[in-house]
Chains A and B, each alone.
Chain A
């Protein structure tokens, strides 16, 4: 592999909300890009390449949205590619930026992501659009809503390891609370385990407050080589220097039923294990729980985050529940996870979600987030975990502060 190093110069977010009636994807992406440009201290005219990150063609009734976004941010006639992998779309877009720069196809890359999930269609139609990401003939026909599958996966985990509903309810409490210190978050809430347990039962064991959100919003990240940054980035070496040090990607059978036993069976995310091991190897990480300062986890449901701790190798299989109980992943804990609020607190506009995670890790490592959610930066390593379907696509990315 080439010796080129890739750096994260800046990021921007256009506010997450249940509904952004002021516009649509193109408007929010323009806003996120305006913020990222300012944050990075660069000019759009100098950036060489773009990656477009959105998941569904249904929500916006628009094919080839990347052409619109590229045009609206003043990037034409420069190159642009779209990346798509369901909920992992944003994480794969970050990986794409690394790959293109590392390969020497460009020295700088802007990636922007969004999803128009809000209330252009009723919530039920939104569920249907999302469920098109399950196998149409074999899964969608009998349960065209993802929670039925995720709930069943969590029940399998509970049976195998004795994981308790109160344990993953704590993750909902944590993520909603973390979102209170994030002005971009969709659903900051100060709640208790009882509030989660008493919220309406959707699909056992998941209650309403165990679920992530349908959000509007957009986000953007800018990557470049050191040589490019020295030439075009006015804040280079003034801002803390954040290097992109690891990336991994994994996949699994589209249908949960088709996965091998005993691992992953229907309780675990094999794609996540593969992706994270790949990223750790690249970043030289031996013990992620000890070496990472912070991580953003794809908490589509509260239990998903708990199982992800295990498959990301933060702890042994079955240890996610007890460690959650002990506050291991809370602010002030050993490895704070989803300091942004995650998909439950910050929001989940699918194509933006993985990039949101990257912006959070960037700002955590720079020590620029709200003091109440700032983690202690010791090794300067932070991880994002971006996940699609029932774990069919996973992208894991690792940033490191190097100044």
Chain B
């Protein structure tokens, strides 16, 4: 049996509603649709269209207008106390922070160590490590397509010199998907291509 035939919905699927052509938008330039909303609608859940409109408690409120809203926001985003990590990626160097009190090295840097609220120092790591886990995505949202390839491999790596926690980034140049295995040795690779966010100046690849 197909998936669709098995699907027993309590309410029928909503019909596809086409957008109005610009000429039919009346006085509202952004008017997309005017339509009659079907159930589900409100606490009188047991009202069904076949019972007739007379006892529909929402009959005065079923005509719906939909308009288009566009919002464009530009941020002047500060990378704050993490900035050195990002600036050093342009120098093809991988920096972490080390807590002078407990000695823990944070591969995703932290200005202050959460173990003891002590201000950390920057330390350079070799940029090599071991793959701990990964996932392979066959689909990615459209907004990610300018920055990653499909299939997309997200990797969790235990960096050499920072054994307690992990670093997250994508894995590239791995050959075939079946060649990826947890426990494999990987290294940071640095990009020469301009990128919209400095984190995208690096990725992991097999050693």
Contact = CB atoms under 8 A, between A and B. Distances in A.
Interface of A: 12, 14-15, 17-23, 31-32, 34-35, 38, 61, 124-125, 127-128, 131, 137-139, 141-145, 147-149, 151-153, 155-156, 159, 180, 183-185, 187-191, 195, 199-204, 255-261, 266
A156 B133 contact: yes
Contact of A145 (B9, B140, B197): B140
Interface stretch (B61-69, B89-97, B116-124, B185-193): B61-69
Contacts of B141: 124, 127-128, 131, 144-145
Which secondary structure dominates chain B's binding surface?
Answer: loop
A91 B41 CA distance: 25
Nearest to B145: A124
Contact of B41 (A22, A180, A259): A22
A142 B169 contact: yes
A18 B140 CA distance: 20
A267 B138 CA distance: 22
B43 A31 contact: yes
B31 interface: no
Interface in B46-85: 58, 61-62, 64, 66, 69, 71, 79, 82
A159 B164 contact: no
Contacts of B132: 156, 266
A145 to B, nearest CB: 5
Nearest to A145: B141
25 contacts: A12-B43, A14-B43, A17-B40, A19-B14, A35-B43, A61-B69, A61-B71, A137-B79, A142-B168, A142-B170, A143-B168, A145-B137, A147-B137, A151-B135, A152-B133, A185-B10, A188-B8, A189-B7, A195-B6, A199-B3, A204-B138, A255-B108, A257-B156, A257-B168, A260-B165
A260 B165 CA distance: 6
A34 B148 CA distance: 47
B168 A155 contact: no
Contacts of A200: 138-139
Nearest to B165: A258
A203 B133 CA distance: 13
A69 to B, nearest CB: 16
Given A138-B199, A142-B199, A184 B139 contact: no
B168 A255 contact: yes
Given A138-B168, A152-B156, A189-B3, 18 more contacts: A14-B43, A22-B40, A22-B58, A31-B42, A34-B42, A38-B43, A124-B142, A142-B147, A145-B144, A147-B135, A153-B133, A185-B10, A189-B7, A191-B3, A256-B156, A257-B166, A258-B106, A258-B166
B14 to A, nearest CB: 6
A255 B106 CA distance: 12
A159 B133 contact: yes
Contacts of B61: 22
A17 B11 contact: yes
A148 B152 contact: yes
A141 B132 CA distance: 20
A204 B177 CA distance: 11
Nearest to A37: B43
Given A21-B64, A183-B10, A137 B82 contact: yes
Contact of B199 (A20, A137, A260): A137
Given A137-B79, A255-B168, A257-B108, A143 B154 contact: yes
10 residue pairs, one from A and one from B, having the closest CB atoms: A15-B40, A151-B135, A22-B37, A257-B166, A152-B135, A203-B137, A124-B141, A148-B154, A127-B141, A35-B43
B169 A189 contact: no
Given A151-B135, A202-B138, A141 B200 contact: yes
A261 B156 CA distance: 13
Contact of B156 (A18, A32, A147, A266): A266
A189 B6 contact: yes
Nearest to A202: B139
Interface string B2-45: 01001111110010010000000000000000010101111101
A14 B42 contact: yes
Nearest to A35: B43
B149 interface: no
A320 B89 CA distance: 42
Contacts of B140: 145
A260 B164 CA distance: 7
Nearest to A131: B141
Contacts of B10: 183, 185, 188
Q: Which one of A15, A22, A185, A260 has the greatest number of beta carbons of chain B within 10 Å?
A: A22
A184 B200 CA distance: 43
Contact of B137 (A34, A151, A259): A151
Contacts of A183: 10, 45
A227 to B, nearest CB: 29
A22 B6 CA distance: 27
B101 to A, nearest CB: 17
Nearest to B202: A142
Given A21-B66, A22-B41, A148-B154, A195 B79 contact: no
A390 B147 CA distance: 23
